[in-house]
Amino acid sequence: MEKITYKLDKTEVVIHSGYKTIGGNIVEVKYPDGSLIFDIGLNIGLHNQYFTWPTKPHKGIDELVSLDIAPRVDGLYTRWLDEGRTPDIEYGVDTHINGVFISHLHLDHYGLITQLNRNIPIYMGETSRYIMEVKIRQARNYRYNNYKDLQIDKTFRNKSHIVIDDIRITPYHVDHSIPGAYSFKIETLDGVIIYTGDYRLHGQEESLTMDFIEELEGEDIELYITEGTRVHDVEYTTEMEVREKLKHFMEMEESNLIIEFSPLDIDRFLSILSAAYETGRSIYMDEKYFIYLSNYYIYDSKLRKKLDKYGYTDICRGLVDIDRLRDRKRRELIEEISSYIDYIDPSESGDIDIILGIDRGLDMCKAGKLKRDKIAIFSNSEPFNEEGEIDFKKTINWLTKFNIPSYRVHASGHISPIELKDIVNRLKPRDIIVIHSEYPELIKNMLGYE
Ligand SMILES: [Zn+2]
């Protein structure tokens, strides 16, 4: 794990994790009286070299640090008591860290939150807060990895101002593959620092990122800390193009479509939903899609309007085998959702049209429930590690068994090199740090910085 330190006059920026690697961002901004942390991400690739969640779990932050999966950061973490059942709320009361800001709820940006020192307040966007709530409500009280006593009541919105000691933080809503993603303007004693988190310019909400760039134009930016996930073999597809391709598949009426994508990616779901709406098709959602997409519907009035526009509660149904669901919390959550949108038992379903969730789709094939020609669509990124590849191969074997061809229809959640170049040309920061990237130097040089 490579740590880098960047000194301004009274301010120091430390990239504890996330440099020269994709994932696990932890950025510290130190000022004379304390410091702030931006993202507390888990490096999933490193974690998965030793552990499998939840069957082979880790034993808390000390173990993660000793294996170099998480960086050593003074004052950042908790200590576990009672064999990992309880975080020690007395531990680290005197920490110099006065806040942790979460850019968005992808694991590589918040995954170490359960290990956080319970004396540090956490700031996140309102959307992230309710996604978090859904996660907490489904979580069991695992040892060494639970949400007990975390201070997660502080939320912000687009362009809120948060002042902590000498630092003023302004979050800007940006477009990414999960709703409620933010970049931060951090005004320090030594000028403005930008931390972008993950962002893109080619999604459905293009205007969000553009708005952020326009707001910053003309600002004197000392340091621009940007993601640089995509460098090589970049598939340059926009979300609108994804939507058109999906619509094309949906126009083939005599087919069952089985679609896999991230259940948190509301932009992708809107592409799927609007295409289904326009082609007169109906959607059956596996449990995890039913839970997360419906929670967007219930808790976010802006998203609800968009979902209503394409008949979410009319053309979509959950596929939930409620009698086999042993998890009480999950069952409660599903019952709550069902007062907004219905679900049906998969074994009692009649003619199923489009299915969200490849595993559920395959189960329905095994049960002989899908009667038409079948097409599978992977609408997510390709597997990026060995484990993912093994799982993918298994899926392909089952698809082969049922004579189902598969396609990939996807647009990335990350900025592409030419988009980044355009942004930097407009903002002209004094210096740049590229994180969340395997090629930080290549990008920096490409952008014209030494
Ligand atoms: Zn992300």
Residues 325 and 354 in one domain: yes
- The β-bridge partners of 164 are 167
Q: Return the ∠ at Cα 11 (arms to 9 and 12), rounded to 5°.
A: 110
Confidence (pLDDT) at 205: 64
Reduce the DSSP state of residue 248 to 3 states and report it. Answer: helix
Q: Which residues contact 217 (CB under 8 A, 6 or more apart)?
A: 426, 427
- The β-bridge partners of 174 are 181
What is the domain extent for residue 99? 2-233+414-446
- Please, where are the H alpha helices in 310-416? 312-315, 328-337, 358-366, 386-401
**Residue 181 CA, ligand 1 centroid: distance in Å:** 8
Q: If you average pLDDT over residues 173-199, what whole number do you get?
A: 96
User: pTM of whole model > 0.85?
Assistant: yes
**Residue 199 CA, ligand 1 centroid: distance in Å:** 8
Residues 61 and 149 in one domain: yes
Q: Please give the tally of structural domains in the chain.
A: 2
**Residue 101 CA, ligand 1 centroid: distance in Å:** 14
Q: Return the ∠ at Cα 296 (arms to 158 and 420), rounded to 5°.
A: 45
Query: Computed over its alpha carbons, how large is the radius of gyration of the chain?
Result: 22
**Residue 210 CA, ligand 1 centroid: distance in Å:** 18
**Residue 433 CA, ligand 1 centroid: distance in Å:** 18
Percentage with pLDDT > 70 across the chain: 100
- Of all helices (H) and strands (E), which one includes residue 31? strand 26-31
Confidence (pLDDT) at 87: 98
Polymer length of the chain: 450
How far apart (Å, rounded) are the C-alpha atoms in residues 427 and 440?
Answer: 19
Reduce the DSSP state of residue 161 to 3 states and report it. Answer: coil
**Residue 266 CA, ligand 1 centroid: distance in Å:** 13
Residues 24 and 50 in one domain: yes
**Residue 174 CA, ligand 1 centroid: distance in Å:** 11
**Residue 195 CA, ligand 1 centroid: distance in Å:** 13
Residues 437 and 422 in one domain: yes
Residues 199 and 251 in one domain: no
Can you tell me which residue has the tokens 């134009």?
217
**Residue 194 CA, ligand 1 centroid: distance in Å:** 17
**Residue 267 CA, ligand 1 centroid: distance in Å:** 13
153-184 per-position pLDDT tens digit: 999 999 999 999 999 999 999 999 999 999 99
Residues 90 and 163 in one domain: yes
For residue 138, give the amino acid letter.
Q
CATH number, domain with residue 285: 3.40.50.10710
Residues 335 and 225 in one domain: no
Residues 207 and 71 in one domain: yes
**Residue 33 CA, ligand 1 centroid: distance in Å:** 31
Reduce the DSSP state of residue 316 to 3 states and report it. Answer: strand
Provide the CA 342 distance to its chain's centre, in angstroms: 27
**Residue 93 CA, ligand 1 centroid: distance in Å:** 31
Structure tokens at 399: 């698809």
113-163 per-position pLDDT tens digit: 999 999 999 999 999 999 999 999 888 889 999 999 999 999 999 999 999
215-252 per-position pLDDT tens digit: 999 999 999 999 999 999 888 899 999 999 999 999 99
Phi, psi of 234 (to 5 degrees): -75, 125
